[in-house]
Amino acid sequence: MHSLLSRGNAIVAYTLSLLACLTFLCFLSTLFVDYRTIAAINTVKVVVKSVPDYSAAREECDLGFITFDLQANLTNLFNWNVKQLFLYLTAEYSTANNALSQVVLWDKIILRGEKAILDFKNMNTKYYFWDDGSGLRGHQNITLTLAWNIIPNAGLLPSIVARGQHSFAFPSNYTVTRV
Ligand SMILES: *[C@@H]1O[C@H](CO)[C@@H](O)[C@H](O)[C@H]1NC(C)=O
Ligand SMILES: *[C@@H]1O[C@H](CO)[C@@H](O)[C@H](O)[C@H]1NC(C)=O
C-alpha cells in the first residue's frame, strides 16, 4: 500500500518530468527558426567634434553626433517562445589605434504584444559616440548594424544580426558650434 506521502512524491516527480519535457519540446520547436530579417538604416545628420576628455590622460577626443532613420518589421520574430527582444544599434569601425571598435549607440526593448514595426525618422542616439583618440574625423567607413537578443521562454538566448547595414563617412572638419 502506498502511503499518502509516497503517492504525493510520485505525482510531484511525474509533474516535474512532464514540465521539463514540455519545456524541452518548446525549446526544440523554435530551435531552427530563422530570426534574421531586414533592417533599413540610414544616417541623416553626421557631425564630429573634438571635445576635452576629462576622464583620460588625453586632452581631446572625437565625439560623433549622428541622427538616423530605422525601418524594420520584426512582427515575424515573435513566436510562442519569444518573450521579448532586446534591439541594439552598433557602429563598427577600425582606426590606426584599434583594429575594431564597436560602439553601441541606441537600444530598445520590445515586449511580446507590443508593436514590432519600427519606423523611426531622424532619431538621436541614446549613448555617446566617443572615440578614444581622434579616429572619427574624416573616417570614411563607419558601419551601422542593428542586432537583437531574443529573450526566450525556454532555451538559448540567440544574438542575431539583421540583414542590411549602412556605412557612412564623418566629415573631415570638426564642427565647433553647438549641435
Ligand atoms: C509586417 O510583417 C507582418 C508579417 O509578415 C505582415 O503581416 C505585416 O503586414 C507587415 N507590416 C508592414 C507594415 O509591413
Ligand atoms: C567597411 O567596414 C566594414 C566592417 O567594419 C567592412 O566589412 C567593409 O569591407 C569596409 N568597406 C570598405 C569599403 O572598406
Q: How many domains is the chain built from?
A: 2
For residue range 53-72, what is the model confidence (pLDDT) as tens digits?
777 666 889 999 999 999 99
Which CATH number belongs to the domain containing residue 87 in this structure? 2.60.40
Print the domain residue range for 11: 1-32
* Ligand 2 contact, 92 CB (< 6 A): yes
| 1 and 67 share one domain | no
Q: State whether 4 and 50 are in the same domain.
A: no
Task: In whole angstroms, give the CA distance from residue 114 to residue 20.
Answer: 29
Please give the Cα distance from 136 to 150 (Å, whole number).
31
- Residue 41: its pLDDT value, please? 96
Say whether both 62 and 144 belong to one domain.
Answer: yes
pTM for the complete prediction?
0.80
Query: Could you tell me if 23 and 72 lie in one domain?
Result: no
Task: For residues 65 and 139, state if they share a domain.
Answer: yes
- Please report which confidence band the pLDDT of residue 179 belongs to, taking 50, 70 and 90 as the band edges: low
Q: Whose CA is nearest to atom 14 of ligand 1?
A: 73
For residue 11, pLDDT over 80 is answered with: yes
Report how far ligand 1's centroid is from the alpha carbon of 91 (Å): 27
* DSSP per-residue codes, 68-119: EEEEEE-GGG--TTEEEEEEEEEEEE--SS-S-EEEEEEEEEEETTS--EEE
37-63: average pLDDT: 87
Q: Are residues 92 and 25 in the same domain?
A: no
Residues 141-168 have a mean pLDDT of 89
Are residues 163 and 81 both part of a single domain? yes
**Across all residues in the chain, what is the average pLDDT?**
88
Instruction: Tell me: pLDDT of 156 over 80.
Output: no
Q: Answer yes or no: do 26 and 70 share one domain.
A: no
145 Cβ contact list (under 8 Å, min separation 6): 41, 89, 90, 92, 161, 162, 165
By residue count, the chain amounts to 179
Give the burial class of 177: count Cβ atoms within 10 A of its Cβ; 0-12 exposed, 13-18 middle, 19 or more buried: exposed
Ligand 2 atom closest to 92 (CA): 5
87 domain residue, yes or no? yes
pLDDT band (50, 70, 90) for residue 125 = very high
143 and 63 in a common domain: yes
